[in-house]
Amino acid sequence: MARGADVIIIGGGIIGVACAYALTRAGVRRVVLVERGELGREASRAAAGMLAPQAEAESLGPFLDLCLAARDRYRTLEGELRDATGEDIEYCNWGLLYLVDPAEHEAARGRARWQREAGLRVEEISGQALRSLEPLLNPEIGGALLFPDEAHVRPCAVVRALTAGARERGAQVFEKVEAVDFIIGEDRLRGVRAGGETILADSIVACAGPWTGRLLDLVGHGLPTEPVRGQIVRARFDRPPLTHLVWGPRGYLVPRLNGELLIGATVERAGFDATPTLGGVAGLCEAARAMAPGLMAAPFDKAWAGLRPRLPDGLPAIGRFADIPNLYVATGHYRNGILLGPLTGELIADLVVGKEPPLSMEPFSPDRFAR
Ligand SMILES: Cc1cc2nc3c(=O)[nH]c(=O)nc-3n(C[C@H](O)[C@H](O)[C@H](O)COP(=O)(O)OP(=O)(O)OC[C@H]3O[C@@H](n4cnc5c(N)ncnc54)[C@H](O)[C@@H]3O)c2cc1C
């Protein structure tokens, strides 16, 4: 394994591999990534892959700006990754139907209003128009908002493509190598102990998902990352049964190009237990039945769970600590790590190479929990 690096990245989920990709793209030569298990096997594999800031965000502000910039970045990233690696990330710009309960009608109109004022595309869809767009949806659903610019990707393909792109430019990526300690110098970190070796480095990026808090305890920085379990059920069709993402009050439906249909996702505090449960699966099937009863005849394929990394305010931490200037953090992406991953990598790369990031990083400073 490498004994020295310009940057060591700890964690090989989507955030870690996106950092490796962006750092090598920015010209950083010696990038080393250590992943204690297999790349992208935790939350990043469990994810549905929606790029859906207009459905996720509750208001205007820096978080929505970050998410919209991240969604835009995918438009060009798709071709860039295909050219560089031959990998197809299955970017589908199919739009999202945000189903509206009669009781939620006013809230949905409010959402449509503030989004239009911000220049975003939103269409209000009647129940009848909804059924001609998606005949499988429950005829009792009174209407929806259509966000035509929402999209989705296949998360494991994104992880594969970013990893291949980083390796292509010289990054060294190691699996089954756990970072167990830091080498602490006077005013900065000097390296990492991992896989029984010492790797010295100019900069270190911690992106270990919900385990980042434990990792940073080793340098006395208590970043309060917590795991939030999400379960998903997969059904199989011969071809996609829907032509949009569908977002309901109790769950969502994500159709994939090959006919897989994902029904997601639970939001549960279950510690570090990433096992799907009967209750979780039953609840997701009920949510799917309420949205599209006709789906219930489809063959059940699989269920799984993953642990979303969450910080107390629900925002990611992307940046560095004021008191350890060569320790960077990229975590807490919670429900939006697939969306935010590639842009997060680029923001970290900007900070590492001393370039001004295109967005204000202040709201996402990891130091906000120390204050
Ligand atoms: C059910 C579900 C659905 C989701 N759907 C979406 C979606 O539709 N759209 C979206 O944008 N996001 C979605 N997400 C969220 C997204 O999956 C996460 O935000 C994202 O995957 C987090 O990536 P990460 O790299 O921070 O964490 P992880 O994927 O957990 O990766 C962290 C990695 O660090 C490694 N690690 C930990 N400690 C060490 C150590 N000491 N040394 C070396 N390696 C270490 C771990 O093994 C792990 O591989 C979903 C999540 C879930 C669970």
Ligand 1 pocket, residue 179 CB under 6 Å: yes
Ligand 1 pocket, residue 216 CB under 6 Å: no
Rounded Cα distance, 264 and 47, in Å: 9
User: Would you state the pLDDT for residue 102?
Assistant: 82
Please state whether beta strands 245-247 and 96-99 pair in parallel, antiparallel, or not at all (unpaired).
parallel
Rounded Cα distance, 247 and 235, in Å: 17
User: Would you state the pLDDT for residue 105?
Assistant: 86
Residue ranges covered by each domain of the chain: 4-50+156-225+313-369, 93-150+226-310
Please state whether beta strands 324-331 and 252-255 pair in parallel, antiparallel, or not at all (unpaired).
unpaired
- Which band of pLDDT confidence, cut at 50, 70 and 90, is reported for residue 266? very high
User: Would you state the pLDDT for residue 1?
Assistant: 65
Three-state SS for 101-135 is CHHHHHHHHHHHHHHHHCCCCCEEEEHHHHHHHCC
180 Cα–ligand 1 center, Å: 19
240 Cα–ligand 1 center, Å: 26
In DSSP terms, 34 is beta-bridged to: 10, 174
The tens digit of pLDDT for each residue in 271-303 reads 999 999 999 999 999 999 999 999 999 999 999
| Overall average pLDDT of the 10-37 stretch | 98
Query: What does DSSP assign to residue 60?
Result: S
Listing DSSP states for 298-337 in one string gives SPEEEEEEEEEEE-TTS--EEEEETTEEEEEEEE--GGGH
Ligand 1 pocket, residue 18 CB under 6 Å: no
* Ligand 1 mutation pick, 54, 193, 308, 347, max ligand atoms within 8 A of CB: 308
User: Would you state the pLDDT for residue 2?
Assistant: 61
What pTM value is reported for the model? 0.97
* Cα dihedral across residues 113, 115, 119, 123: positive or negative: negative
The per-type count for the chain, helices as H runs and strands as E runs, is 10, 18
Ligand 1 pocket, residue 336 CB under 6 Å: yes
Q: What 3-state DSSP class applies to 32?
A: strand
Query: CATH number of the domain at 93-150+226-310, out of 1.10.10.10, 3.30.9.10, 3.30.420.40, 3.40.109.10?
Result: 3.30.9.10
The tens digit of pLDDT for each residue in 82-131 reads 999 999 999 999 999 999 988 888 889 999 999 999 999 999 999 999 99
User: Would you state the pLDDT for residue 371?
Assistant: 52
Rounded Cα distance, 236 and 63, in Å: 34
43 Cα–ligand 1 center, Å: 3
13 Cα–ligand 1 center, Å: 5
The tens digit of pLDDT for each residue in 175-190 reads 999 999 999 998 899 9
pLDDT surpassing 90 at residue 221: no
Q: What is the CATH number of domain 4-50+156-225+313-369?
A: 3.50.50.60
